[in-house]
Structure 1
Amino acid sequence: MRNGTHSVGGCSSSTSIRNQQNIEDDRMIAVVLSEEYNKLDGSIGGRLSSLAPLPHVPRINTYIPNVSDASLDHQRLLQRLNVYGLYEVKVSGDGNCQFRALSDQMYKSPDHHKHVRKEIVKQLKDCRSLYESYVPMNYKRYYKKMAKSGEWGDHVTLQAAADKFGAKVCLLTSFRDTCFIEIHPQGQSPQRELWLSFWSEVHYNSLYEMRDAQIQRRPRRRHWLF
């Protein structure tokens, strides 16, 4: 989450410089996202059950990797996809990717991302006590910001999704020390599993076993970026 506060004198100038740097960072990430996905094709077989999950800690987005780190992270994620025989259904990198990937898992289409975001934000608003301690900013400001199209989802919204939809959210990640994360719904048994890949702090996609993807999916046009 990037938040600049305007003030007088040097502070205003400093904020302008930071905002410009943020724009440049977003452009660089978009370029990497486009170039790296052009390299992705088929994977080898494997089983999801062989993955050992680590505990999940909800948190907001605070760090965006530089281009070099992002590229290395993506190569690590591709290797893990191959090892476990998993297939990504790629969604647009327009700031709504987490919600698009969740939509694809639930409705077999990323196009219902606005509805998914609306339901998650409602969960954040209605169950404030479950999430507020994980948000180091004004909580009302946080969930109102998260309601906007294009606002990146975070690990707090993933927990809210698990709770709202009664689902175990499973993440195959590009983190160096954390290959697999499970997010369990609080106070209830999961009724379904939602599988996502997570190119750490950059992008989410919808995830399937290669066998299931071949049965369920027809070829799709590539449209990761608008």
Structure 2
Amino acid sequence: MTHIIQNEGGSSSSTSISSERTDTDDDRMIAIVLSEEYASLDGAAARRLSNMSSVPHVPRINTFIPELSNATLDHQRLLQRLNAYGLYEVKVSGDGNCQFRALSDQMYRSPEHHKHVRKEIVKQLKECHSLYEGYVPMKYKHYCKKMAKSGEWGDHITLQAAADKFVAKICLLTSFRDTCFVEVVPQYQAPQRELWLSFWSGVHYNSIYELRDLPVRCKPRKKHWLF
């Protein structure tokens, strides 16, 4: 789900060419910085993520969908980080339920319980409205009704509600340029579990694991070569 802006008449201008070159240069710089960032890491890098400094999590609704060029660069950055830390994505359907599917996969080893996960999160939103309504720039009842619908995108408010409801620290490996790691922690309880998601900013969530922790159904098959 991306938003594409085209020049009128389909023509390309010198400005657009310059922009594309800038994007290419930015992407090359990102690759250099990431390679330096990960150069000293060993095979235990994934476990070190929990010791990294994270940016403060701010609950907010979805207000922005990146343009195609920016989304592509973001995705490349996320893939580089996954590879560098030896993490594997369990890809879930991009049907508007991806946040709930990814949370379901982390808790139940299957994305198919996303309806139950959404129901519990919406229940948390309704029962503890004082914790979340200040972040919602619309009538709160309307927001809860909207979030109860299958296919409605989860946001950073539903992530906070999930952390509170399931007493879990939700760890996001992100595609953000400035930081790769965000933690969402329960507001009034110590977390009893960790849930790991990848977050392609503004586009998609997936469930992530270290290889040794991958569910059996998701382990990569060994290649058998014929000689």
Q: Aligned partners of 1:47, 1:171: CA distance in 2, in Å? A: 12
8 Å CA contact 2:2–2:65 kept in 1: the answer is no
- Compared CA separation, residues 76 and 97, structure 1 to 2 (3 A): same
RMSD of aligned Cα (Å): 1.9
Q: Aligned partners of 2:128, 2:165: CA distance in 1, in Å? A: 10
Tell me what 1:218 maps to. 217
- Compared CA separation, residues 57 and 219, structure 1 to 2 (3 A): closer
Bigger drift between 204-213 and 72-81 goes to 204-213
Q: Aligned partners of 2:218, 2:101: CA distance in 1, in Å? A: 18
SS in 2 for 1:25: coil
8 Å CA contact 2:2–2:203 kept in 1: the answer is no
- Compared CA separation, residues 108 and 137, structure 1 to 2 (3 A): same
Q: Aligned partners of 2:120, 2:148: CA distance in 1, in Å? A: 10
Q: CA deviation at 1:212?
A: 1.7
Tell me what 1:192 maps to. 193
Q: Aligned partners of 1:152, 1:178: CA distance in 2, in Å? A: 23
Tell me what 1:150 maps to. 151
Identical-residue share of aligned pairs (%): 75
Q: CA deviation at 1:99?
A: 0.1
Q: Aligned partners of 1:78, 1:64: CA distance in 2, in Å? A: 19
* 1:92-171 alignment runs, 5 A limit: 92-171=93-172
Cα deviations by residue, 1:52-79 (Å, 9 ceiling, x for unpaired) = 3221111110000011111000000001
Greater gyration radius: 2
Q: Aligned partners of 2:181, 2:55: CA distance in 1, in Å? A: 6
8 Å CA contact 2:87–2:208 kept in 1: the answer is yes
Q: CA deviation at 1:135?
A: 0.7
Q: CA deviation at 1:48?
A: 2.9
Number of aligned residues = 180
Tell me what 2:3 maps to. 25
Tell me what 1:224 maps to. none
Residue 196 of structure 1 aligns to which amino acid in structure 2?
L
TM-score, structure 2 as length reference = 0.75
Tell me what 2:48 maps to. 49
Q: Deviating runs (4+, > 4 A) in structure 1?
A: none
Tell me what 2:74 maps to. 73
Name stretches of at least 5 consecutive residues in structure 1 with no aligned partner. Answer: 1-22, 27-43, 222-226
